[in-house]
Structure 1
Amino acid sequence: MKYFQRLCLILPILLVLLTSTISCNKTKTKIEKPNIVWITSEDNSKHYLKMFDDNGVATPNIESLANHGITYSRAFSNAPVCSVARSAIITGSYGPRIGAQYHRKLKMVPMPDSLMMFPAYLRNAGYYTTNNNKEDYNIKKGDSVWDDSSKNASWRNRKLGQPFFHVYNIGITHEGSLHFTKEEMMLNSTKTGENTFKVQPNHPNTKIFRYTNALYRDKMQEMDTKVGEVVKALEEDGLLENTFIFYFGDHGGALPGSKGYLYETGLHVPLIVHVPEKYKHLAGNEKGIVNKGFVSFIDLAPTVLNLAGIHIPEKIDGRAFLGKNISIDEVNTRDETYSYADRFDEKYDQVRAIRKGKYKYIRNYQPFNYDGILNNYRYKQLAFKEWQSLYEEGKLNDIQAAFYKERTPEMLFDIESDPYETKNLISQPKYHTISNDLRERLDKWVKEMPDLSFFPEHFLIEKAIENPVQYGKEHKKEIHKYIDISNLCLSKFESVKQEVMNSLTSKDPWQRYWGLITCSNFKKDASALESIIRTIASNDPENLNRVRAAEYLGIINAENPSAVMINTLYNSKKPAEALLILNSIIVMQSKRYNYKFDIQLKNIEEVVSENSEVKSRLEYLEVL
């Protein structure tokens, strides 16, 4: 009885203790998930931060983050321009696979494979998701992505104890900050001395380029101050011990030949992750280290989901590099990244690249589209204008002039010995084993996606826009054939002559299209097929095939292409098609070919001429 009485006295106390323990465990569960903050800076490759490159400037706030976390010395955007890079980030998917590869989208595409933009998974798991404030996706956004996406978005508006994911975008380093006049350059000095760095070897070493470099480095330091303000706000709110902080550039830099191009200055970005002490087990238990493994933007979404303890959808292309079940040593061994470039605003090209270890292989599918093709917004920068003027005046050396000259279909660079990719090694026999390996890897990648850019953009808008991924799956065989045709130019013409001829006479218009591009890559070596090409230029039912045929004839100086190109422009009722035609016109009127074009605005269909990107081209051609 006495024992029973004692038990009755003790039992309430035990119940209180048990309830308290359960309550504590519940509270612990609520705060178990880490907060995650992204700080992004626009138009910023790693080359301008001293912690990544001796030619950069000090960024003490970013360096402080690195002291308490991990520096990723080989982090890459998959695309060198805003909307395409951000589309890869938000989906975890390659743009050419999902139809999100064109910058300044003419049409939005849906999310692929029943995926959601990754913040929606966080939100469904109880996270407060905020974006301050740039989105710039090429993809239709659902309602469930952000709790708040605005200039006022903040983690401070969440519920008490609620974990959060917050994005803070810094626009200080955007290329628009380098759009100054000569008068402004004379009036405003820079904090960074104009002789405290080296001008990269492919740029002319002029007053304008040195001033632009110095001003850009000033902007880096302004950006770093803003990074410090965000970190300080987190510290003041007592959140640093629970918060992963990612800092990264959103793609390559703003200096000429960087943003918009698949060179390292367009892709290789700074990435630092601050690791809170209580979650260091999710990052290998070490801080202040440098991880040399290759990570890219498609890896960011699965990494955040993994840190938050959320299942990573199987159809995401990327791989997590932090979090549960991730070996930091394994990440350190990753040595491969892929990238792509298509249309940026009104400028078309089609380039793919792979970097593996220290070697970079670039495949220019249309190498006659030289790098320096005008883009109106880009050429608001005085340095760009001067670069082009000096080329036209014959005042550049071979390395500096390469930007305005025709490229080779393949390029190979040793990034460690040639960080600015000025020495193409593709033709050197001692590198053939490396180039063959990288060519095969890249070819396998574009086929496995499959790469939708082997259809012209206007065709994708008409046929594939509702479900690009499914369209790619259904037409994988055709895409593989187009890729194979495009690769014929990598062989000797006589060994593939019959295959090229078969493509030109195919009933499939896009086999003819790629056959013509292949002939343009062969130039006069393909002159045996000139009569077939002339027939295509005269009466092919596809506008673009007539243009590509005329382009070939113009490249080999067999016939002035202007009449065919102008007539197809007048015939076009599709802005994306007209943009490709105008791109060829720009190439044909360049210094290399110097053909003249007399385009009359009144003859262009209104649905075409009123398109904003077409207007940019017509403005440059002085048609408006």
Structure 2
Amino acid sequence: MKIKSQIILTVCLLVTIIVKAQKPNIVWIVSEDNSKHYMELFDKNGVKTPNIEKLAKEGIVFTRAFSNAAVCSAARSTLITSTYGPKLATHYHRAEAKINLAPGQEMFPSYLRKAGYYTTNNAKEDYNIFKAENVWDDSSYNATWRNRKKGQPFFHVFNIGTTHEGQLHFSEEDKKNNKTKTDPATVFVQPNHPQTALFRYTNAFYRDKIVEMDSEVGEVINQLKDDGLLESTIIFYYGDHGGVLPYSKGYLTETGLHVPLVVYVPEKYKDLTIFEPGTKTDAFVSFVDFGATVLNIAGVEIPKNMDGKPFIGKNVTKKVINKRDYTIGYADRFDEKYDMVRSIRKGKFKYIRNFQPFNPDALMNDYRYKQLAYKEWEQLYRDGKLNKVQSKFFEPKIPEELYDVEADPFETNNLAANPNFKSTLKELRTTLNAEILKMNDLSFYPEFYLLQNAFENPKSFGETHKKSLKKYLSIANLEMVSYKKATSKLQKYLTSTDAWERYWALNVCSSFGEEAKEFTAKIIEISNSDTELINKVKAAEFLGITKVENPSKVMIKALYESKDKVEALLILNSVVLMHDYYSNYSFNIQEEKLNDVVKNSNQIKRRLAYLVVN
């Protein structure tokens, strides 16, 4: 009897050891284009999502989870590398060319495959990176964990497109024929939006889509349950960046970056998290951390060249979690629209740095304005029917913005000039500048220049040029001092032999506008004789903003001379800016005079078509 008991005990111990040795399965359920603001689990103005709420009761709710970019390809490129996009040049949407990862850096699922995981993606990738063959065992609409070897652990990504921006591209006829399940009269319309019937309908329609998405989340969870895998699988549910109501996707607003995140860790793997089931945490996590977290859960060593830090898994202590108190955001080109914006959210405060504040957020983007709500919002602005808060989207920005997003979640009250928040402003500005320098943010070079010179190894290019990048940042930051303090340095940099020092000096002059008119003669000279076409255009941009000179002749001439479609796209950004927001300058562009490479670009065609109609 004693021997039998010992055998049973030994078997139980062996089973326990084997079970503990089994690596967890990991599933990502990803919904496209929805921030946390439209789900009751995270926000009082949201709808019920019973499947996600059930997962939350048994899992962990992260109340401060963020995408680092506010648009698909830039966000997903950060996810798949666990590395900041501006360091790798993966932060433009969409890439005009795929980048090469530096030697020794891979998309993180490849490390899982090496560790024996079966990796599948169903089915969206959308990375601005050349795909390596060792990333996925299957990436397709048929991809499933069910094709793995018996007992093999798996990492599976399931993408849900039900809430994607394109779903809101309905017509007036569609609107008439389709009533929403959510009552438009009951929905919350954020204060910087017009309080109109169309905006209420759009909000209701979008919330209906979120309810549909929740059902699809439930289907994936049920498949795991049916396969007997629920208790051996760690599940992440999250949105792939912010929502698609106007001024969300593509912008570094909270509605553009703050995503829902729920993580379910079964009892079997409770030792991998410090959080109890059914709890909430205010720890800051962002997409740059997700890949590192998955590797940590799987017991795979995290490569040192990743920027992300794990928030679940071995060695993640309360002390480590409590130090997670900020997140970085970045926005640059969104399809054919250019801007350069960086942000940092720390605690309840959000700091936004607009590097080209003369660009209104509303600058035309074809895909965005397919949404009726955007069209109506613009028309109401043109008709003078919006209040100050609602009009902000269509007007030039200022270099710095600071918001208390707990008191002001839709970022309507800029505290940057408020003396009571001077220390907070300085702290966040300093931290963001340090992060920009740490990552060797490549956006201080124009995109076309990076394509020509850096795309073979952007990370190495950034390391090699870090001193120049630091200088360009210091020039750009002249926007934040008084014009009197900036004058002598602008004089120096406008005459620099470094083309990109001149480029940033011109941007700073445009930011100061009328104050910088003393440089008019020099800037006219640049517009006529600079070695870089884009600097001629940037000079003309200043002359147009200050109404010194019609910029159209210089800009059109530069457009005809350009042999690079990405350079030409940046030129057209200035053209549309001048056409729509500064004295409505006219541009008679003759397409037959464009270089063939330029005229065949779809992005260029969209810009030209818009200018013809408008």
Residue 592 of structure 1: how far off its partner (Å): 4.0
Residue 137 of structure 1: how far off its partner (Å): 0.1
**Is residue 495 from structure 1 mapped to residue 485 from structure 2 by the alignment?**
yes
Please give the per-residue CA displacement for 1:415-455, whole angstroms capped at 9, x wherever unaligned. 01100001111111111111011111111111111110000
Residue 591 of structure 1: how far off its partner (Å): 4.0
Q: 320-329 vs 208-217, which deviates more? A: 320-329
Task: Tell me the distance in 2 between the aligned counterparts of 1:429 and 1:420.
Answer: 22
Among the aligned pairs, what percent are the same residue? 55
Aligned-partner SS, 1:116: coil
Residue 342 of structure 1: how far off its partner (Å): 0.4
Aligned-partner SS, 1:37: strand
Task: Tell me the distance in 1 between the aligned counterparts of 2:187 and 2:323.
Answer: 32
Other-structure match for 1:484: 474
Other-structure match for 1:3: none
Task: Tell me the distance in 2 between the aligned counterparts of 1:215 and 1:17.
Answer: 59
Residue 496 of structure 1: how far off its partner (Å): 2.1
Task: Tell me the distance in 2 between the aligned counterparts of 1:66 and 1:488.
Answer: 47
Other-structure match for 1:150: 140
Paired AA for residue 173 in structure 1: T
The structure with the larger Rg is 1
Residue 112 of structure 1: how far off its partner (Å): 3.3
**Is residue 264 from structure 1 mapped to residue 260 from structure 2 by the alignment?**
no
Alignment of 1:74-153 (within 5 A): 74-112=64-102, 114-153=104-143
Task: Tell me the distance in 1 between the aligned counterparts of 2:593 and 2:198.
Answer: 40
Alignment of 1:584-599 (within 5 A): 584-599=574-589
Task: Tell me the distance in 2 between the aligned counterparts of 1:89 and 1:285.
Answer: 23
Other-structure match for 2:598: 608
Q: 1:25 to 1:232 in 2, by over 3 A?
A: closer
Task: Tell me the distance in 1 between the aligned counterparts of 2:32 and 2:13.
Answer: 46
Other-structure match for 1:465: 455
Task: Tell me the distance in 2 between the aligned counterparts of 1:382 and 1:141.
Answer: 36
Other-structure match for 2:428: 438
Q: 1:220 aligns with which of 210, 229, 240?
A: 210
**Is residue 183 from structure 1 mapped to residue 173 from structure 2 by the alignment?**
yes
Paired AA for residue 537 in structure 2: V
**Is residue 417 from structure 1 mapped to residue 400 from structure 2 by the alignment?**
no
Aligned-partner SS, 1:40: strand
Task: Tell me the distance in 2 between the aligned counterparts of 1:55 and 1:107.
Answer: 40
Q: 1:572 aligns with which of 555, 558, 562?
A: 562
Aligned length: 612
Q: 1:174 aligns with which of 164, 171, 177?
A: 164
Contact 1:322–1:328 under 8 Å retained in 2? no
> Which 4+ stretches in 1 moved above 2 angstroms?
16-29
Q: 2:236 aligns with which of 222, 246, 252?
A: 246
**Is residue 50 from structure 1 mapped to residue 40 from structure 2 by the alignment?**
yes
Task: Tell me the distance in 2 between the aligned counterparts of 1:230 and 1:319.
Answer: 27
Task: Tell me the distance in 2 between the aligned counterparts of 1:529 and 1:208.
Answer: 46
Contact 2:544–2:582 under 8 Å retained in 1? no
Aligned-partner SS, 2:185: coil
Contact 1:99–1:468 under 8 Å retained in 2? yes
* Aligned CA-pair RMSD: 1.9
Task: Tell me the distance in 2 between the aligned counterparts of 1:516 and 1:566.
Answer: 19
Contact 2:545–2:582 under 8 Å retained in 1? no
Paired AA for residue 556 in structure 2: I
Q: 1:159 to 1:26 in 2, by over 3 A?
A: farther
Task: Tell me the distance in 1 between the aligned counterparts of 2:227 and 2:288.
Answer: 31
Residue 495 of structure 1: how far off its partner (Å): 1.6
Paired AA for residue 250 in structure 1: D
Q: 1:247 to 1:147 in 2, by over 3 A?
A: same
Contact 1:102–1:344 under 8 Å retained in 2? yes
Task: Tell me the distance in 1 between the aligned counterparts of 2:13 and 2:38.
Answer: 52
Other-structure match for 1:201: 191
Q: 2:200 aligns with which of 201, 207, 210?
A: 210
Task: Tell me the distance in 1 between the aligned counterparts of 2:568 and 2:40.
Answer: 44
Q: 276-285 vs 218-227, which deviates more? A: 276-285
- List runs of 5+ in structure 1 lacking aligned partners: 1-9
Residue 197 of structure 1: how far off its partner (Å): 2.0
Residue 354 of structure 1: how far off its partner (Å): 0.5
Please give the per-residue CA displacement for 1:70-115, whole angstroms capped at 9, x wherever unaligned. 0000000000000000000000000000110101110111123521
Residue 613 of structure 1: how far off its partner (Å): 1.2
- List runs of 5+ in structure 2 lacking aligned partners: none
Please give the per-residue CA displacement for 1:322-381, whole angstroms capped at 9, x wherever unaligned. 000101453144210001000010000000000111111100000111100111111100
Other-structure match for 1:7: none
Contact 2:84–2:307 under 8 Å retained in 1? yes
Contact 2:60–2:275 under 8 Å retained in 1? no
Paired AA for residue 456 in structure 2: E
Other-structure match for 2:224: 234
Contact 1:113–1:469 under 8 Å retained in 2? no
TM-score (norm 2): 0.97
Residue 26 of structure 1: how far off its partner (Å): 8.5
Task: Tell me the distance in 2 between the aligned counterparts of 1:21 and 1:284.
Answer: 27
Aligned-partner SS, 1:248: strand
Paired AA for residue 553 in structure 1: L
**Is residue 346 from structure 1 mapped to residue 336 from structure 2 by the alignment?**
yes
Other-structure match for 1:377: 367
Contact 2:351–2:400 under 8 Å retained in 1? yes
